[in-house]
Structure 1
Amino acid sequence: MLWIKALHIVFVTSWFAGLFYLPRLFVNLADVNDVATTERLLMMARKLYRFTSILMVPALVFGLWLWLGYGIGKGPGNGWLHAKLAFVVLAIGYHHACESLLKKFEAGINKRSHVYYRWFNEVPVVLLLAIVILVIVKPF
């Protein structure tokens, strides 16, 4: 079980690293005006999104393995897991929202400012903070 837990942590950390950096590229894309820089940032964002998507899969698989295979979080007094899973669903939604925003940048129809993306960039920090606190502290 410890190997599965270790791999889950590694892939979650890697997935969230991508979720931290991709919106930062959106900040730069929303703020840049020249074509060459825009194309370079779009290429970086595309590659990062693809890689981050790949990392999300084993993170979720190993998490499911821990939950279903080892029974982590089952039984009474494990409300923390239900809350954690809700935040994981939000993280998956955020991941897909990044894809939608990337497609808007690629189509040249972004309507939001760099300030919006600076705030949008903080969402995965809050999600990860909530998830880690729920897993470590298990408040309910």
Structure 2
Amino acid sequence: MWSNARELEFLEAYQRESILWNPKDARYKDKQLVHDAWLRISSDLDIPVEELKKKRDSLLATYRNHRRKVRLSLQSGAGAGSVYKPFWFAYDCMNSFLHDAVTSRKTLNTDTQVTKYLFPYMKPLI
């Protein structure tokens, strides 16, 4: 069973292994190095890698949910007192290192761009 303290201990170990969560880390896509990082955490906490990955997925899902609520409350134009403040015990810990890593990037609508390139004189249907 995972206690809050044990989950925070896991998050601290996870944070130290930026190769697992930081796409800007040059080693992020090296599967062997990623596997080695999971083995180090597994060894430190004496928990199987599969269980650690499940716990990571669960924690990230909860973090993303709280983060979305914060973001939506900021976009609503609400006053400072109305901004959602997460009460979840692990939010601050996770946000301290994941804030920039999970920020969504703007995407290019290639469908529109390709249509404009191929049919520059065509009016949009909508």
Question: Normalization by structure 1: what TM-score?
Answer: 0.30
Q: Which has the higher contact order (CA 8 A, sep 6+)?
A: 1
Question: Normalization by structure 2: what TM-score?
Answer: 0.32
Higher radius of gyration, 1 or 2: 2
Which structure carries more helix by proportion? 1
